[in-house]
Amino acid sequence: MYHFVLWCTFRDFAVTLSFIDCYRWFSHIFNDTLRSVPSTYPNIFENFCKKMDVANIEDKFNKALRMLDLEREDRALDILNEIITKAQKEKDALFFIRASCVLGELFFQKGETEKAQQYLLNVISTPYEKNDVVDYEKAVAASILHQIG
């Protein structure tokens, strides 16, 4: 059974709850407050979820980089491909560019230049407003594409 740790910030202790207990606790609170919630709260909650989703993609991206540092390329490839798929669905050009650039670099280092070229061309051809991170990724992609020829 899954367990969650509920941290109480005003005291130095944690309570371990089962998934069912957490669900009951949160649904009880949510149902009690739902009656007094203005109609704008669902929009606020939806925007919060979108921000959490971006954080989730960023966490996955950082996890993929850590996997590469630990030389677990297979797991990193899976995560990066998952990020690219999710970024395409959500039209998140930033993480599409970042993940594509990392995959392009990885395939270039492994000598798989055709795959590398495909990912790096995605980096170059994806439009994005002026951004230092994107500018760096595009410069890296252009440099590797120049080396490929």
Two tokens at 36?
């007094």
Taking the whole predicted model, whether its pTM rises above 0.75 is answered as: no
- On whether the CB atoms of residues 108 and 148 are closer than 8 A, the answer is yes
Query: pLDDT, tens digit, for every residue of 33-90?
Result: 444 445 555 555 455 555 445 568 899 999 999 999 999 999 999 999 999 999 999 9
139: closest CA among 131, 108, 61?
Answer: 131
98 CB neighbour count, 10 Å cutoff: 25
* 33 φ, ψ (degrees, to nearest 5): -85, -15
Two tokens at 75?
């797991």
Sign of CA dihedral 55, 61, 63, 65: negative
User: Is residue 86 packed enough to be buried (19+ CB in 10 Å), middle (13-18) or exposed (0-12)?
Assistant: middle
Query: pLDDT, tens digit, for every residue of 5-49?
Result: 444 333 334 444 454 554 555 555 555 444 444 555 555 545 555
Two tokens at 49?
């979820």
